[in-house]
A and B are shown apart, each in its own frame.
Chain A
Amino acid sequence: MKEITLTVQDADGLSTSSSVTVTSVSLTGTWAGHVRMPSAGSNPMMFFLTQTAGGLVTGTWDDSNFDGVLGPPGEPGTVSQDGEVRIRGKWNNTNDDDFYFERASSTTGSMIDSTGTTLTGEINGSGVSHYTMIFTKQ
C-alpha cells in the first residue's frame, strides 16, 4: 500500500494537502497452497514466483515429494492487467506431463485479491482437470 499526497498551493504560497492510498500487488514471492496430485498424494505445494517487466512470471514449485519449474525457458508465465495468471509447470526428474496453473474457465476477474495475499486458480494437466488451488502469500 502506498500513500499518494496531493498538495495544492496558491500564488501566495498557501497550501493544503490530502492523501489517498493505492495498492500495487505482485506475484513475486512465496505462495503456499495444498494439492492432491495423482502421483504426489496430498501435499502442501509451494510456488516461488518472480514477476518481471511486462507481466512475465517465472519460478519454481515444490510439493515436498516433487518439484519443478514454473514458466520454463522460452515460455514464461504471464499475469495480465486484469489479474489473469497463466503459468506452465514442468516436473524435475519425472516424465509426468506438464500442467498449467490458470484462471478457472467458469470465473472472471482477477485471480489475485486486492490485498495481494491470495491467489486463486486451477490446475489442469498432469492427470488433473479443473483442480482448484488457493495460494496464500507467505
Chain B
Amino acid sequence: MLKVQKSYVTSVVSVMVMCVGGLGCKDSSTPSSPSTTATTATATAPVNGAPVINSVNVTPDWGIAALQQHAFISDTSDPDDDTLTHRWEDSAGALLSVL
C-alpha cells in the first residue's frame, strides 16, 4: 500500500530591529535598547490528496453470457488514509456494486 505522510507547510519570518545611527538610539554613549527579534510561525492545514487506484483487474475477462461470473479486483490507497468508497459501474451507468 502506498502511503504518504501528511505534509505541513511551515513558514518562519524573522525580523531584527537594529540600532542604525541615531535611529532607535538616544545617543552613542547611551547603550542602545536591546535588540528585538520577532518570529512568526504559520502552519497551513494539510492538503487532502485524491485516492489512488494502484491496479484494477477482472477475472476472467470473458465468459459465456449469463453463465460466467466475473471477479473485479482493485488495489487502492489514500495518501491521507481516508476511508474510501468503491463504486463499480458498467458503461451504461448501471451500478454494479458499492463498497
B91 lies within 8 A of A16 (CB): no
- Interface positions of A (Cβ within 8 A of B): 2-12, 14-26, 51, 53-55, 79-81, 83, 110, 112, 114, 116
Docked complex Cα distance between A55 and B63 (Å): 12
Name the distance in Å between A124's Cβ and chain B's nearest Cβ. Answer: 22
Docked complex Cα distance between A83 and B65 (Å): 10
Docked complex Cα distance between A88 and B88 (Å): 40
Docked complex Cα distance between A83 and B66 (Å): 12
- Interface positions of B (Cβ within 8 A of A): 48-53, 56-58, 61-68, 70, 72, 74, 76, 78, 80, 82-91, 96
Partner of A9, one of B62, B64, B85: B85
Partner of A10, one of B64, B84, B88: B84
> Which residues does chain B contribute within 8 Å of A3, judged by CB atoms?
90-91
User: Given A3-B91, A4-B90, A20-B72, do A10 and B78 touch, yes or no (CB 8 Å)?
Assistant: yes
A6 lies within 8 A of B72 (CB): yes
A14 lies within 8 A of B50 (CB): yes
> Which residues does chain B contribute within 8 Å of A10, judged by CB atoms?
48, 50-51, 78, 80, 82-85
Name the distance in Å between B51's Cβ and chain A's nearest Cβ. Answer: 4
